[in-house]
Amino acid sequence: MIADIAAANRLEERIASGLILTLALIGTLIAAAGLYALMSFTVSQRTREIGIRTALGARPVSVLGTIARRAALQLGAGVLLGCVFGTWLVRDVTGDVTLLDVNIPAVLAGAGTAIVLMVTAACLPPIRRGLRIQPTEALKES
C-alpha cells in the first residue's frame, strides 16, 4: 500500500519534470530562433557599412567584433543575471531535501555554458554571412 503511494508520487514527479524539461527546450529553441533572426537582421541592415569597412582594409576580426559586440554584451549580462537569480532562487528553496545532493555552482556553470553555446550556434551563421560580404556587392545595394 505505501509502496504504491510512493510509486504514484514518483510517477507524478517524473511527469512534472518531463513537462518542465519539454517547456524549457521549447523556450530555448524559440530564443535561438529569435537570436538568429536578430543577428540576420543586424547583418542585413549593416551590409553597406561592413562592405565599406572591408574595402578600406578592415581585418575580419575587426568586422566580427563590430557585428557581434552587442550580442556578446547582452549574452554576458544575461548569463551573469541568470547565475545571480539562480543562486538567489536556490538559496530561497534550500529547505527542500532533494536539493541537498545537488552541486549548485556546477549546475549554474553548466547552464551558463549551455546558453553560451546555444547563442554562439544561433549567431554564427549570420556573422559568417557578414564576413563574406564583398565590398562591390555592398555598394551596389544602396
Overall pTM > 0.75? no
How far apart are the C-alpha atoms of 111 and 92, rounded to whole Å? Answer: 19
CB 115 within 8 A of CB 72: no
Residue whose entry in the numeric block shows the C-alpha cell 549554474: 108
Say what the pLDDT of residue 19 is. Answer: 92
Q: Could you tell me which residues come within 8 angstroms of residue 47 by beta carbon, excluding any fewer than 6 positions away? A: 130, 133, 138, 141
Q: Is residue 26 scored above 60 in pLDDT?
A: yes
Q: Write out pLDDT tens, residues 29-87.
A: 898 898 889 888 988 888 888 888 888 888 888 888 888 888 888 888 988 998 888 88
Q: Is residue 94 scored above 70 in pLDDT?
A: no
Provide the sign of the torsion angle of the four alpha carbons 71, 75, 77, 81, taken in this order.
positive
Say what the pLDDT of residue 46 is. Answer: 85
101: DSSP letter: G
For a pLDDT cut of 70, what percent of the chain falls above it? 92
Residue type, 10: R
